[in-house]
Amino acid sequence: MPIDRRSLLASGALFPLIGLQTRLAHSAEQAAREKADYTLRIATGLAELAPEHIVSTTLYNSQFPGPLLRFKEGQRTVVDVYNDTDTPELVHWHGQIISSDVDGAAEERSPYVPPHDMRRISFAPKPAGFRFYHTHVAAGADLNRGTYTGQVGPVYIDPKNEPGAYDREVFLVLKECEPSFSRGGDMAMDFLAGEPIKELQAIGKRGRKGGLTQHLGFAAAR
Ligand SMILES: [Cu+2]
């Protein structure tokens, strides 16, 4: 059978593709074999806000707040995120300096975790300290989405060098709820220890001007 130049080119072009496919399949297999450090499952569940005040909302691993995740500064970590809801979700790593493909922020073009699907996220956490993870879905007027849900959890990134010397670790996650659950007025802020940090206040001010109110507001545990 005569082979013309065109079909030769076409078949030749197949080889690198086949090679690539094998490599991709291999790395996917490897990834599957590697156990994730943490698994987060986004699903509807019940949260008890106060005695006899139980609400149905979206949670991480059926709990509010989500589980405490501990990372080591600069040490690669693997998190599997399962989205058991009917809508796309984003897990944002609040306060960490990591690339946008894993940072979980739509405005930085992070990919969503599709409904009833999962994404494996891998990154080297930094800087050290106490941070949050939370949904970065813009709720708009939908009170069943985004930061109106129970999707928030604590992250502690152990410092690479100075481990610190504490007698006791306490992680607090605060969230404001529907006014009927509170005693009215703004949440008291004067119980927070230490002086305000001017540098952080300036970042907050800049963020609010740039339309990042929701994101930075969460630092104050809204
Ligand atoms: Cu945030």
The model's pLDDT over 50-76, given as tens digits with 9 standing for 90+, comes to 778 888 999 999 999 999 999 999 999
- Residue 129 sits in a domain whose CATH number is 2.60.40.420
71 lies in a domain? yes
Centre of ligand 1 from the C-alpha of residue 56, in Å: 23
Determine whether 88 is exposed, middle or buried from the number of CB atoms within 10 Å of its CB (0-12, 13-18, 19+).
Answer: middle
Has residue 19 got a pLDDT over 70? Answer: no
Q: For ligand 1, a single-atom ion, which residues have Cβ within 5 Å? A: 94, 215, 218
Report residue 216's pLDDT band, with 50, 70 and 90 as the boundaries. very low
Centre of ligand 1 from the C-alpha of residue 133, in Å: 7
Centre of ligand 1 from the C-alpha of residue 105, in Å: 9
Report residue 168's pLDDT band, with 50, 70 and 90 as the boundaries. confident
Has residue 207 got a pLDDT over 80? Answer: no
Of the two residues 35 and 179, the one the predictor is more confident about is: 35
Centre of ligand 1 from the C-alpha of residue 77, in Å: 19
Domain count across the chain: 1
23 lies in a domain? no
Sign of CA pseudo-dihedral 38, 81, 156, 56: negative
Centre of ligand 1 from the C-alpha of residue 136, in Å: 7
Centre of ligand 1 from the C-alpha of residue 126, in Å: 15
118 lies in a domain? yes
191 lies in a domain? yes
Centre of ligand 1 from the C-alpha of residue 218, in Å: 6
Centre of ligand 1 from the C-alpha of residue 153, in Å: 11
Has residue 146 got a pLDDT over 60? Answer: yes
Domain residue limits at 139: 35-209
Mean pLDDT of the chain: 80
Task: Tell me the two tokens of residue 74.
Answer: 């600069």
Closest CA to 60 of 20, 89, 21: 89
Q: How far apart are CA 61 and CA 29, in angstroms?
A: 26
pLDDT digits (tens, 9 = 90+) for 99-121: 999 999 988 889 999 999 999 99
Alpha helices in the chain (DSSP H): 5-33, 198-209, 213-217
8 lies in a domain? no
23-27, 40-44, 150-154, 210-214: least confidently modelled range: 210-214
Q: How far apart are CA 79 and CA 187, in angstroms?
A: 33
175 lies in a domain? yes
Of the two residues 139 and 40, the one the predictor is more confident about is: 40
Centre of ligand 1 from the C-alpha of residue 80, in Å: 19
Centre of ligand 1 from the C-alpha of residue 168, in Å: 26
Q: Which long-range contacts (CB under 8 A, 24 or more apart) does 108-114 make?
A: 110/136, 112/88, 113/42, 113/81, 113/82, 113/83, 113/88, 113/89, 114/83, 114/88
Centre of ligand 1 from the C-alpha of residue 160, in Å: 23
100 lies in a domain? yes
Question: What is the pTM (predicted TM-score) of this model?
Answer: 0.69
Centre of ligand 1 from the C-alpha of residue 32, in Å: 29
